[in-house]
Amino acid sequence: MSPRKSAAEARRTRERIIERSVAMASVEGLEGLTIGRLAGELGMSKSGLLGHFGTKEELQLAALRRASAVFSRAVWEPARDLPAGLTRLRAVCEAWTTYLDRERDTFPGGCLFTTSAVEFDAREPGPVRDAVARLHRTWRHRLLADIRTAVAAGELPAATDPEQLVFELNGAFLSLNHAVQLFGDPTAPDRTRRAVARLLG
């Protein structure tokens, strides 16, 4: 096998591992990722799988990065080029609602980006918890930027507290994830849309 073909094969294998890791972790959590089970499901040896990542922690971080990329691709990127402020914020919230309601191929157990925060919020600081917090801070900053732009443009009331509004929006979407995953509530997406409409005016 040529070095180029060997490298391409290694990349494909790594992608398969990450895809299966994300699906597994969405159901059982990042801590539920076990090298043995994952290797068995992929028809690999444990040592072969560890050769791509080295440790379980590196595998968790790779799964988390992939989950964040899927979230960004579904929620942020479609709205990225819209005018900053309320127009983009409303588009992001609609994409966020649709994503949490319908994304099942990648996340059979629900959005890993969302649920990882619940899984790791009480853990001691460490690489995985720090990565979860960093990704969520990045997302909060994106929302804050559009809220502040909307306030400056007069699209939202001058008295709007951007930090409070982000807090309430995040609460609405955590409630949506909970209602869809735990209860299979078909009314939850429209309830979320109504909550967002009240918050954004």
Per domain, the residue ranges of the chain are 3-200
Nearest to 100 by CA among 183, 161, 179: 179
- Lowest-confidence pick of 98-112, 145-159, 168-182: 98-112
Question: Is residue 84 within 8 Å of residue 59, measured between CB atoms?
Answer: no
Query: Is there a contact between 78 and 95 (Cβ–Cβ < 8 Å)?
Result: yes
Helices (H), the chain: 3-28, 35-42, 46-53, 56-71, 86-102, 112-120, 127-152, 162-183, 188-200
Distances (CA, A) of 144 to 69, 112, 147, 156, 199: 20, 22, 5, 13, 14
pLDDT band at residue 176 using 50, 70 and 90 as cut-offs: very high
Residue 2, pLDDT score: 54
* Average of per-residue pLDDT values in the chain: 91
Confidence of residue 4 (pLDDT cuts 50, 70, 90): low
Average pLDDT over residues 53-69: 91
Instruction: State the architecture of 3-200 in CATH terms.
Output: Orthogonal Bundle (1.10)
CB 176 within 8 A of CB 161: no
Cut 0.85: pTM above it? yes
Residue 190: which pLDDT band, with cuts at 50, 70 and 90?
very high
